[in-house]
Structure 1
Amino acid sequence: MPDQEEELGPTLADAFQTMADGVRELRDRGLAAEARRRVRRRRQAVFGGSAAMVVAVAIGGVWSAIGDGSPVDTATSGSAADSSAGRENPESSPGGSCAEQHPILSGDLAPSPSAGLDLETPVSGLLACRYRLTPGATTLLGAGVFDATTAQRVVDAIKVLPERNPDLPVFKCTPERARPTEAIVLRFDTRQGPREVWVQYDGCATAGFLTGTRTYGLYAAPLQLFLTGSLRPTGGVYLDHLKGW
């Protein structure tokens, strides 16, 4: 019996040792597996972030190639806001579009005092309308929209003029020839609403800029600011004698 106990003791000890070794091995394997799992997760996170960065860079490169999405105000851009003097787009003017039936077509030679522009009034835009005045064939010949800067320059250039340009001839003619064949209406935007200046350069009765209360002589300086595109006449009784327009 003592011999069996002596033999059983080492056997049990060996068994316990084996079990302990197994537990440690399992534990070590578990720790190693966990460590490997964590390493894999870190690698995946790193690779995922790198991939996202690559995609972002790639997209950014393509976006740069085709142009970014920054909004461009086409209204103020290239325009140069409507510094597009002489552009034939009268609908964009706050004062509206050129009237097909305007008082100037009925034979009036100047705007009424209430419709005319006081040249001391600040202006914020200009719609210019060129009309044929020939009876039976009246029509709109051309139009142009000008920004506030150009509009004010036109007003400033007119209001310093004398009542008459002495370099232009004085004609004596019949009433039929006195009527101009065409003229231009300058329709200015003001805080009080649209106000007009009529430009007479044909016929033989009156030449100049008419406000309804005053007449300013016909000179080239104001004309140069707006006689563009379809607004520009081919000639006129007074224009034929005026240089530099």
Structure 2
Amino acid sequence: MKTVLITGANRGLGLEFSRQYAQAGWQVIACCRNPEKATALAQMASHDNGIRIVQLDVQNHQQIEALATELKGTAIDVLISNAGIYGDRHGFGAIDYQHWHTVMQVNVFAAVKLAEVFACNLALSEQGVFVALSSLMGSITDNTSGGSYLYRSSKAALNAAMKSLAFDFRQQGTGVIIFHPGWVRTDMGGPNGLIDVDESIAGMREQVEKFSISQTGCFINYKGAAMLW
């Protein structure tokens, strides 16, 4: 049985990743900050014993390290760094710089920390894959409207960090995929999104299944199309 670890598994993309991987027969380690509030995830887990809910605040590096210690020796086939926040409360002239730091902690630092501490687990898989949920809003080339300073900068930084990670992980045979999931109708994406969450997740899962190490470090959408940096 294959194992996937998912952060931010309590809603949106993370919840749907958990559902689809569990239905496919995978062991799902579903991480979220407040399991007691994750009612949809808990209900899902009550009907599928392949889902294990784990309390994890990705801003807390001690918690990440503790989970890695607990899972020492366990092969992780796919690790999905999905937890993220938008963060842009105000526009230029009224930027909350302390909150900007929080956005970077959640959207960038957490992903790199997860990669560091779970590198050995991914190396135990026949083809471990580290998946980072990014956004086309992290593309500098595609930025034609400005704004969203916090979110755009965090996703651009994530893309840069994951590109570097791809070179380090290639030495151990672990791949890295940076995904633009599309404009999805979720709490973060809003009701005007262009696609439903199940379509986005099914597409990304297909790309993970088809992945080869020659593609490591790629920035693609859920259909596999290359995204602009």
Normalising by structure 2, report the TM-score. Answer: 0.27
Larger radius of gyration: 1
